Every structure is written in structure tokens, then in C-alpha cells.
Structure 1
């Protein structure tokens, strides 16, 4: 995980310097980039809302952290296709080119970018892109950050993982049943868990 985070920092730094070098004098390019990012964020949020609502069968606005995480995963998937893979391929080619030219310094820089790209690509492949992994990860994020572990609701199972209140009056809530772990893997920061197909609704007097 730390290696993938380092890879993200390296990629962000390289991209930032490239943009500063080539587009600093072109305000229209900056405006276009911001508009594109805003549009991508809007579309990603729309997809995330649908994905979270499908998992929990409630309005995604009740699960803001899970929805934000889903948006980030959607954007990360697009970045993987649009930037990470091209950077990975280009850095591999440049590393071989500079190595053949006996330019050790440039070859090492290209190698560092290549390793960072591989780590970042691996993180996305195992965390954000497979549907089952993303669903499991979003469920765990919601349990930790959106579900309330303490409530006054009646009829809660003793082993429930928490509730999310429905509506501003908080008189009803959806219940997360006991967490069932399927397996752990060193390839993911989350364990793989069973995502319930249905969630019970309880009254909260």
C-alpha cells in the first residue's frame, strides 16, 4: 500500500511538472483542463450514486463517505486507462532507450517512474476495477464511516454492525447484519467480505 501511495505521488509530480512546463503560458488550456476535470467529477459522482444505491438499496445521500469513495474509484479507473498505462509503457521504452545510450541518470529516473506506475496499476487492478472487490470495499468503508454503531432503534439484532438513519426525522433506519469475512489477501488493504443482498429496516422511536 505504501509503495502504491509513493507511486501516486511520483506520477502526480511528473504530471504537474509536465503541465507547468508545457501549458503554463496557455490560460485556455488550464480552463479546459479544469472544465474537463469538473465534468469528469460530475459524471463519476452520478455513477457512484447509482452504484452505492444498488448495494445498500437506499438513497446514496445517506452514505456520503461510501459515495465519495465510489466516485474516487470511478475516476481512478479512468486515470488508469488514460494516464497510468501510457506512462507505464512510455517509461519502459524510455528506460531501455536511455540504457542503450548509456545515460544512466535518465535511465534510473525512467525506471523509478516505471516502478511507481506498476505499483499504482496493481493497486487499481486489485482494489478499484474488479466489481466484486469494489463492492466489498465500498461496503466496508460504509460500515466504518457511515453506519452508526449506537442507536435507539428497536428490533436490532445483537450482532448487527450498525444502522444508517433514513430521512431527517431519523425514525427509521437500515441495518447492517453481522460482517461475514470470506477471505483476506495480501493484495488488498481490505478483507473480502460478504455483501448482504437485502438490508432490514427497523423503527427508531
Structure 2
């Protein structure tokens, strides 16, 4: 189903350029330059000033508002995750410095709410879950939960285990070894 939705969206983007002579990115810039911020205002502007059909106006408005509100770089995503939780950033920095030592193929892939740790596939994630805690998700299939290495439960279905951290001092050899095991298996 997702493939069909993505294919339909891509067709609509291609048709927008064919019908108007401008790309989606150009229309996003025009929509932003209009000064309108609300979805309905942008839709109305594109329909009345540029003769858009509702479908095209709706799509451009959604894309313009998404890109305006979303961070532009990986650093922006991480900064946003720790906004209001600055005291937790040293935990993230300590973890990523240690993980970077695993190999040249480690990829830190920031998302809106967490940073995915990847090699050939995801082997873990780092997420500032509360104002006082960072959760480290780790893919350790077949390993029993023990002590601070918990089953992930409802935390995140993309990992098998979780470790809760409240201080950079808790980023110790034991945790790094678990992450390295997951990295080796990825």
C-alpha cells in the first residue's frame, strides 16, 4: 500500500511540473514567499493567484509547511531533540564518540525523535525520552534481559533491548560492549 501511495505522490509531483512549468521546489519557494503560514491560506493563495486545482494547492501547501517546520540538517535534528534537555546532550556526545570507534561504516542517522545507529542495518538508537533520561535501544536478538539491559517492550519495536541513562558516567564498558555486539551482528 505504501508503495502505491508513494508512486501516486511522485506522479502528482511530476504532473505539477508538466502542467505549470515549475518544479515542486519552485512552488514551495513561491508559497513561502507569499507570507502565508496557515494551510488554508496557502491553498487559497495558490488557487486564486496561480490557478491551481485543489489537489495541487493542497500538496504544495503541505510540502511547504513540512519543509519550513522541519530542521534542515542532521545537526539541526539532534539539536531539536535536545532542546530543553540540554543537560542530556553530554550523554549523546559520549555515546556517539564511543560508537564512532567501531568502524568507518557506522552511520548516525538522526530522525525527528531519535538517532538511528546503522551499519548494514540498524543496530541501535539513541533517544532523549524524557527531560532527565536518554534511552539507548540495542538490537541483541536472542540475548536475555539482565540488570540494566531491559527488553525494549513498548519503548521501540525496532530494537530488542533498552538501557536507560541519566548521566554520561553510565556510558561504560558494559554498555559499549552491548552496542559493539549489535554492531558486529548488523
Question: Does TM, scored on the shorter chain, surpass 0.5?
Answer: no
- Please identify which structure carries the higher strand content: 2
| Higher RCO (C-alpha under 8 Å, 6+ residues apart) | 1
